[in-house]
Amino acid sequence: MLRKHTYDDELEQSRRKGQGMKQSIARFNPNAGSDRFDRSNREPLFEKAVTPSDVGKLNRLVIPKQHAEKHFPLQSGGNNSSSTTKGVLLNFEDAAGKVWRFRYSYWNSSQSYVLTKGWSRFVKEKGLKAGDIVSFQRSAAAAGEEERQLYIDWRPRVGPNQAVCSVVQPVHMVRLFGVNIFKLPGSSGDGGGGCNGKRSVREMEMVAFECSKKQRIIGAL
Amino acid sequence: MLRKHTYDDELEQSRRKGQGMKQSIARFNPNAGSDRFDRSNREPLFEKAVTPSDVGKLNRLVIPKQHAEKHFPLQSGGNNSSSTTKGVLLNFEDAAGKVWRFRYSYWNSSQSYVLTKGWSRFVKEKGLKAGDIVSFQRSAAAAGEEERQLYIDWRPRVGPNQAVCSVVQPVHMVRLFGVNIFKLPGSSGDGGGGCNGKRSVREMEMVAFECSKKQRIIGAL
DNA sequence: TGCCGGACCTGTCGG
DNA sequence: CCCGACAGGTCCGGC
């Protein structure tokens, strides 16, 4: 009732700006533009190792505030607070050229920026697991006032043998999201980096974050 | 801009607004202002023995429907449904004169009235336990259309096994600036307590916190 | 109906 | 100690 026209409004607005056109081109003509897969023209923005919540049932990705405010300003419109209130729809192109449309907004209650609508589909299709790295880029073209194309990509989490945190303190309690995971069966490293996964979500989460509870920003680019 | 509505902001704002109201009430009570601890002017509303859920992790206090609808009407404004949807913020003054701001709303899912935001802070600071009695009053002054000051108070559960902090459980976690500096033994040694369950660490923290804190509060009165 | 997701909220951690 | 950030939750409306 309250937000009856939100989605269509945003869609229409986006279409007028030309992104909708791009999207349809991308979908129906993957080969359009010989440089579609040329990533040399992309400027990396930031990466995030997704948390269990990011890939769980909350259907949202928390964008670290520093990167959100730097790269995805919300109140650019300036005239009112509708963009901050309702958020905006952003289009991201993945490695295959498929365009993903995410709702991007700010949650006053938690003072955080999030991708909500559409995100769960991305998680599902890519088979994202906790600890995997999601990266954002945009076209580096100096397009003036034109909005630049945004890109999203991902890669499996760094394996346990690759030792992001090479030294583990000799503590007797390792808390991961409130659970003591210090003494766990099967602490043997998960050899494959695989996205194939039949392993339990729980185990996955535990291994993925064994080194640090704090989120890892791989690159503040 | 970013920190739009912090709890303290709301509290402060409300406190400032309350001054004028208090003064208008004061004309009915010449002593108001000189002794804020005069309870002769308070009209008891109702009491509730809090349940384990009321003081647990649900962060809410269920207000018995009869009392809620009688004393805390939600849709009194009548102009729209925002008050029923989002609830309202109510201020309650405790025995020490501290003002607590709770969100009061109705949950359709459970058909019940609840205090949510802010309630957990009250539970924690007072060290509320299941069975303790929480009481609500309001100023008895016939202030006409003016909202009357609300009060909240509590007392320990009556009856056997009162055991208010008589025994300090063995605490296996000693936090120093947020760090557990207590060396954990291999097995959980949570022998006594009589509480089953998984919230051992949290409960121990609560017990420890309460025991030290309550003494100070009592001493201050 | 069930699910998605929008808007809430809070405890925890680190600075 | 406070405080900002955010992970992990809640309820609930809409579809």
Which tens digit of pLDDT belongs to each residue from A139-162? 876 656 566 899 999 999 866 534
Percent of chain B residues topping a pLDDT of 90? 12
> Nucleic chain D: which protein residues 140-179 of B have CB below 7 A from it?
177-178
Q: What is the pLDDT of chain B when averaged over all its residues?
A: 62
- Which of B142, B106, B98, B119 is CA-nearest to residue B53? B119
CA of A112 to nearest chain B CA: how many angstroms apart? Answer: 10
Name the residue in chain B with its Cα closest to that of A69.
B2
Task: Give the pLDDT of residue B192.
Answer: 30
For A113-139, what is each residue's pLDDT tens digit? 999 988 988 998 899 998 899 999 998
Which residues lie closer than 8 Å to B201 by C-beta, 6 or more apart? B172, B173
- Note the CA–C1' distance, B127 to D2, in angstroms: 22
A104 band by pLDDT with thresholds 50, 70 and 90:
very high
Bases of strand C lying below 7 A from some protein CB: 4-15
Whether the CB of A65 is less than 7 Å away from nucleic strand D comes out as: yes
Which residues lie closer than 8 Å to A100 by C-beta, 6 or more apart? A91, A92, A93, A94, A118, A121, A122, A152
Nucleotide nearest to A59 (CA to C1'): C5
Least confident segment among A23-32, A44-53, B98-107, B139-148: A23-32
The number of C-beta contacts closer than 8 angstroms across A and B is: 9
Q: Which helix (H) or strand (E) holds A122?
A: helix A119-126
- Which of B102, B100, B93 is CA-nearest to residue B39? B93
Residues of A with CB under 8 A from a CB of B: 108, 111, 172-173
- Which of B35, B184, B208, B104 is CA-nearest to residue A171? B184
The mean per-residue pLDDT over the stretch B160-177 comes to: 39
For B85-127, what is each residue's pLDDT tens digit? 567 888 899 998 888 989 888 887 778 888 988 998 899 888 8
Mutate: best of B2, B181, B204, partner A, most A CBs <10 A: B2
Name the residue in chain A with its Cα closest to that of B181.
A171
What whole-number distance in Å separates Cα of residue B120 and Cα of residue B206?
Answer: 12
What whole-number distance in Å separates Cα of residue B84 and Cα of residue B107?
Answer: 9
Query: Does residue A94 carry a pLDDT above 90?
Result: yes
Percent of chain A residues topping a pLDDT of 70? 46
Query: With contacts defined as CB-CB under 8 Å, which chain A residues touch B2?
Result: 111
A104 phi and psi angles, rounded to 5 deg: -120, 125
* Residue length of chain B: 221
AA letter at B166 = S
Q: Which residue has the higher pLDDT, A67 or B39?
A: A67
CA distance to A45, A70, A71, A199, B114, per residue, from A66 (Å): 11, 6, 9, 34, 36
Task: Give the pLDDT of residue B14.
Answer: 52
- Which of A113, A132, A133, A124 is CA-nearest to residue A61? A113
Query: Does residue A26 carry a pLDDT above 50?
Result: no
AA letter at A105 = S
Can you tell me which residue has the tokens 């007797």?
Answer: A172
B72 beta partners: none
Of residues B2, B3, B184, nearest to A173 (C-beta)? B184
Query: Does residue B135 carry a pLDDT above 90?
Result: yes
A85 band by pLDDT with thresholds 50, 70 and 90:
low
Query: Does residue B208 carry a pLDDT above 70?
Result: no
A202 band by pLDDT with thresholds 50, 70 and 90:
very low
Task: Give the pLDDT of residue B3.
Answer: 35
The reply to whether residue B3 touches residue A111, judged by beta carbons under 8 angstroms, is yes
The mean per-residue pLDDT over the stretch A42-60 comes to: 90
Query: Does residue B80 carry a pLDDT above 70?
Result: no
Q: Which residue has the higher pLDDT, B45 or A178?
A: B45
Can you tell me which residue has the tokens 């704090």?
Answer: A214
CA distance to A6, A13, A103, per residue, from A1 (Å): 10, 20, 19
The reply to whether residue A111 touches residue B5, judged by beta carbons under 8 angstroms, is no
Name the residue in chain B with its Cα closest to that of A182.
B186
Of residues A111, A172, A173, nearest to B2 (C-beta)? A111
What whole-number distance in Å separates Cα of residue B103 and Cα of residue B91?
Answer: 9
CB B154: neighbour CB atoms within 10 A?
A: 19
Q: ∠ at Cα B117 (B115, B119), nearest 5°? A: 60
Nucleotide nearest to A49 (CA to C1'): D7
The reply to whether residue A108 touches residue B183, judged by beta carbons under 8 angstroms, is no
